[in-house]
Structure 1
Amino acid sequence: MKNYIVIYVILVVIVNYCQGGFTDSQKQGIVDAHNEARKQAGVTHGPKPVSPLNLVKWDNKIESFVQDFVSKCKFSVPVGSNYGFALYRVNNDKFEPGPVVQSAFESAAPLFDWNTLNCKPGTCCFMYPSIIWNASTSVGCATSWCENFNFFVCGYNPQGGLIGVPPYTKAQIDSDWRINITTRTPSPTGSPRPTRTPTDSPTPATPTPTSKPMTSSPTIQPPVTPVPNQPTQAGDIDWRQKGYVTPIRNQGQCGSCWSFTTAAALESNYLIKNGNSLLSTLDLAEQHFVDCASNGCNGGNGNSALSALKSSGVMYEADYPYKAVTQSCPSVGSKSTFKWAGSLTVKNTKNDFITALQSGPFYASLYVDDGFQRYKTGVYQCSSSNTPNHAVTVIGYNSAEDSFLIKNSWGTWWGESGFMRIKPGTCNLFDQNGLRPTF
C-alpha cells in the first residue's frame, strides 16, 4: 500500500525554551506549523496546488508510538509501523517544537527541486515534502533527551515523502512533469464493453473479506478469442508480450496501491478470458475501490476491495475519475459497472506463484525499502525486509535470470517504464498469499 520514504534529518537549533513532555499548547504549535506551511503552498513556496492542501490534526496514537521509540535513544528510523517519520537532532536541552518544525521547513523549502521531485544535489530537504505531503492528515511527535541532544521525531499517517512523486498535485500539470495522476486512458467507448446490472445503494466499505473460489460467471458476452498458448519452458511467461497487460497507472499521493493492483489484476484476467480488443481502453475506477473498501488512502487489500464491490461491480475511470483522496462511497445509479465472479488464493511459494502465472497476473504484497523506491533497472533484491507495505501485480517470470516481473502503480517514470524485475522471495514477496480474480 505504501510507496514512501522515511525522513532522516539532523537539525542544529539554538533556542532556549522549556523541556519535558509536550504540553497541549506545544502540540498545537506543531500542528499549526504544519498547517501554516500547507496554507502557504503556491504563495511562499512551491507551485500553486490544484486545491487547498489538507490540514493535519494531532494523533495521540502516533505520539505514543513515537514516544516509545525516542525513549530508547536509538538515532535511526523506527520500524514496525505504517507511519512515516521526520527525525531531528536538536542540540539543546530545552526547545519549543513548533518553531523547530517551522525553521526546518523554511530552510528546506528552497532546496526541493520541483522538476526532479528530489532535493537539489548535495542538499538535505526531505522534511519539506514530508511536512506538506497532502495525503498525510495526522501527525504525532515526541522527544527524549539522549546524553547530549534532544531526539525529536514526528510521525505521519498516511506516510509521505516519496522521491519522484509530487507532495501535492499542481493546479496545472506541466508537460515536463514525470507524474500526472489526472491523465488516464479513457474507458471503453467505441468498442463494446461488458453490460452490467447497476445498484442504487452504496456498497459497504468494510465487508468480510473472502478469497473462496467462485464458480459463477458474470452476465457478459463480449467477443471471445482463444486464450494464449501456455508457456512450456520452466514456467517462463510475460503477459505484456501476450497483449494482456493494461497501461501503467499512477496512484499519486494516496496509499491506494491495493486498489490499483486489484484493478490491474481484474483488467488483465478479464482480457485473457474474453479477448484483448479492449486492451488500450479498459480502465477501471480505482477511486471506486478507495471510497468503498478498507481504509481508503490509509491502506487496504485485494480481498476487501473485491468483496466490497462484488455486488455492484466497479465503475469505469471515465465515469468516476481518480482523485487520490478518500471520499464517501458513491451510489452507482445508472452508471455501467464491471463485474467478476470471485477470486482464487495464490499460495505464497515460488512454485505456486509460477503455476498461478500460467493462468494470469495476480495481486501480491511485498516490502518496499529505499532501494525499491529508487529502482531504475535490473533484477532487484531488497537490502532488508519487513512486514509487507505495498501491493503489486505479478505479471511474469523469467527462469534464465530467476526473476518475477511486477507491475507497479507509480507511473512510467519509475523503474523499467513502471515495471520491475525482482528476485523470488526478496522484499518479503512470499510473506502473504496472492490473489487472482476469476470470471
Structure 2
Amino acid sequence: MIHQLICILAFAWCASAAATTEIPNAQQRLAIVDAHTSIREVVNPPASNMQIMNYSMQLELLAKDFVGQCTQRKPNPNVQKQYRGFSVTTLVTVGGDYPFETMVSTFGDKAVFYDYDKNSCMGDCSVYTQAVWATTTEVGCAKSRCDGLLPNEARPTYLLACMYNPAGNTPNRRPYEMGEACSKCPAEYKYCQRRQCSKNSAASTLLSALTLIFSIVVIYSVA
C-alpha cells in the first residue's frame, strides 16, 4: 500500500513538473520573431548581410526538451546529437513569469557591452551576439519553471531557452559584416525588409502573419 502511494505521489510530481514547461502560442511565436527583428535592425555599426529571422517548430521542441531539464549547462552535440548544428541561449528570471517577447527583448540590452571594432564583450554578451548573428535564420523558444535552479534562491525561478539555426557565436568571428543595409545579401534574398535580407517582400510576410492570426481566431471561435 505504501509502495503504491509512493508511486502515485511520484507520478503526480512528474505530471506537475511537466506542466511547468511552456511553449509559445502562435501570436507569441510571431512576437519572438519580431523581437529578434527589432534587435537586428538597429545594430551599430549597421550590418550589410543581416538575414531576416523565421520561427522553427523543430527548434521549439528542442528548446522545450532543454528547459525541461532545468539546467543552464549547454548541451554537448557530440553526445546529444539532436542539438548538432544548433546553438542555445538561456535567460533566468526570478520572482515573476514574464511573456516570451519581454524576455527575448532583453537580449538586445547586452548591445552596450559589445565592441564591434574589437569583437569583444565587457562581461558575457553572448545572448546578444547570437541574437544578431547574421547567418542565423531560425529560432525556437520555450520556458519552464525551475525552482532551485539558482543556489540560495527561494523565489519562483524561470528558465527561458532559445535554440538557433545555423548556430552562431563562432569563436573569433564577428556576428555580421559592417556596411550598408542589405548590400551583401545572399543571391536568393531578393528583398530588404527592416534593414535585413529577406526572401519575401514585406507585403507577403505581413499577409502570412495575418493569415496565421486569423486561423487562431477561427480555432478559438469554434472551440
Task: Confirm or deny a common fold (TM above 0.5).
Answer: yes
Match of 1:157 in 2: 165
CA–CA distance in structure 1, aligned partners of residues 138 and 187 of structure 2:
14
Match of 2:198 in 1: none
Note the alpha carbon deviations across 1:94-116, whole angstroms, 9 max, x for none.
2111122212312x101001122
* 1:133 equivalent in alignment to 2:130: no
Match of 2:75 in 1: 78
Residue 68 and residue 20 in structure 1: after superposition, are their counterparts in 2 closer, same or farther (change >3 A)? closer
Match of 1:423 in 2: none
Contact 1:57/1:138 (8 A) holds in 2: yes
Runs (4 or more) in structure 1 with deviation over 4 Å come to 323-328
Deviation of the 1:136 alpha carbon = 0.2
**What is the DSSP-based 3-state SS (H/G/I as helix, E as strand, rest coil) of the residue aligned with 2:173?**
coil
Residue in structure 2 matching 1:98, options 77, 97, 101: 101
Which has the bigger relative contact order, CA under 8 A and spacing at least 6? 2
Q: How many residues align?
A: 152
Residue 83 and residue 34 in structure 1: after superposition, are their counterparts in 2 closer, same or farther (change >3 A)? same
Q: What is the TM-score normalised by the length of structure 1?
A: 0.33
**What is the DSSP-based 3-state SS (H/G/I as helix, E as strand, rest coil) of the residue aligned with 1:77?**
coil
CA–CA distance in structure 2, aligned partners of residues 160 and 21 of structure 1:
23
CA–CA distance in structure 2, aligned partners of residues 325 and 25 of structure 1:
29
Contact 1:118/1:163 (8 A) holds in 2: no
- Which of the pair is proportionally richer in helix? 2
Matches of residues 219-298 of structure 1 in structure 2 within 5 Å?
none
CA–CA distance in structure 2, aligned partners of residues 163 and 133 of structure 1:
12
Contact 2:119/2:173 (8 A) holds in 1: yes
Note the alpha carbon deviations across 1:338-364, whole angstroms, 9 max, x for none.
xxxxxxxxxxxxxxxxxxxxxxxxxxx
**What is the DSSP-based 3-state SS (H/G/I as helix, E as strand, rest coil) of the residue aligned with 2:125?**
coil
Match of 2:91 in 1: 88
Match of 1:47 in 2: 45
* 1:69 equivalent in alignment to 2:66: yes
Contact 1:48/1:170 (8 A) holds in 2: yes
**What is the DSSP-based 3-state SS (H/G/I as helix, E as strand, rest coil) of the residue aligned with 1:30?**
helix
Q: What root-mean-square deviation, in Å, do the aligned CA atoms of Structure 1 and Structure 2 show?
A: 2.2
Note the alpha carbon deviations across 1:61-89, whole angstroms, 9 max, x for none.
01001101211212211232121111111
Q: What is the TM-score normalised by the length of structure 2?
A: 0.62
Runs of at least 5 residues in structure 1 that lack an aligned partner in the other structure: 1-18, 173-322, 329-439
**What is the DSSP-based 3-state SS (H/G/I as helix, E as strand, rest coil) of the residue aligned with 1:38?**
helix
Runs of at least 5 residues in structure 2 that lack an aligned partner in the other structure: 1-20, 148-155, 190-223
Residue 54 and residue 67 in structure 1: after superposition, are their counterparts in 2 closer, same or farther (change >3 A)? same
Please say which structure displays the higher CA radius of gyration: 1
Contact 1:48/1:171 (8 A) holds in 2: yes
**Quick one: percent identity of the two aligned structures?**
24
Note the alpha carbon deviations across 1:139-172, whole angstroms, 9 max, x for none.
0001111123111100100000124211111118
